[in-house]
Structure 1
Amino acid sequence: MLTDGLEQYMREQGINSVNVDVWRNVAKIDLAFFGISDLKELTNMTKINLPKGVILLPEMRQYDPSNKGMSIDTYETGVDVEVKKLCDGYDVPLIMLRKVPTAEELIEGMRRLPQKINKDKQD
Structure 2
Amino acid sequence: VLVLSMHSDSRYVKQMLEAGAMGYLVKENAFEEMAAALRSVLTGRLYVSPQASGSILQDIAQGQGTEGEAVSPLTLREKETLQLIAEGHSTAEIAERLFVSVKTVETHRKKIMDKLDLRSVAELTKYAIREGITSVDK
Asked if TM exceeds 0.5, the reply is: no
Q: What's the TM-score once normalised by structure 2's chain length?
A: 0.23
Q: Give the number of the structure whose residues are more often helix, by fraction.
A: 2
Larger radius of gyration: 2
Q: What's the TM-score once normalised by structure 1's chain length?
A: 0.25
Task: Say which structure, 1 or 2, has more relative contact order (CA 8 Å, 6+ apart).
Answer: 1
Q: Give the number of the structure whose residues are more often strand, by fraction.
A: 1
